[in-house]
Amino acid sequence: ETGVTQTPRHLVMGMTNKKSLKCEQHLGHNAMYWYKQSAKKPLELMFVYNFKEQTENNSVPSRFSPECPNSSHLFLHLHTLQPEDSALYLCASSQDRGPETQYFGPGTRLLVL
């Protein structure tokens, strides 16, 4: 596989469920990102990891928990979400954390019931 991949592509979960989103990049990049895209709102940066270290948490509620075991993999663990958390969750990567081009994965479309 090439580029940035995300699984699952679609997810429906109840408010009491626990689920995880997975992102993998095959570009040899060192920085990875989670974004949230809601209808009619700009893309919102959630988390930034650089060389596996979290460098930014953009005031994200604790019901979203990121994990970055290595520079190629990024997870977003979800628990006790709210219906307003329904959105497209996008993973991206770049060579380094800086003014670098970010490449996006296909996203996970999440629906919280």
Partner 1 sequence: QKEVEQNSGPLSVPEGAIASLNCTYSDRGSQSFFWYRQYSGKSPELIMSIYSNGDKEDGRFTAQLNKASQYVSLLIRDSQPSDSATYLCAVTPNPGGTSYGKLTFGQGTILTVHP
Six-digit token pair at 32?
């990875």
Q: Is the Cβ of residue 62 or residue 101 nearer to partner 1 in the bound state? A: 101
Instruction: For the CB of residue 29, give the shortest distance to partner 1 in the complex, in Å.
Output: 12
The rounded distance, in Å, linking the Cα atoms of 17 and 2 is 31
Residues that bind partner 1 (CB under 8 A): 31, 33, 40-43, 45, 48, 50, 55-56, 58, 90, 96-107
Q: What is the maximum alpha-carbon separation in the chain?
A: 39
The rounded distance, in Å, linking the Cα atoms of 31 and 92 is 8
Instruction: For the CB of residue 106, give the shortest distance to partner 1 in the complex, in Å.
Output: 5
Q: Is the Cβ of residue 33 or residue 64 nearer to partner 1 in the bound state? A: 33
Q: Is the Cβ of residue 6 or residue 85 nearer to partner 1 in the bound state? A: 6
CB of 92 closer than 8 Å to CB of 32: yes
Q: Is the Cβ of residue 18 or residue 54 nearer to partner 1 in the bound state? A: 54
Instruction: For the CB of residue 57, give the shortest distance to partner 1 in the complex, in Å.
Output: 12
CB of 47 closer than 8 Å to CB of 34: yes
Measured at the alpha carbon of residue 69, what is the angle toward residues 65 and 74, in degrees to the nearest 5? 55
Instruction: For the CB of residue 16, give the shortest distance to partner 1 in the complex, in Å.
Output: 28
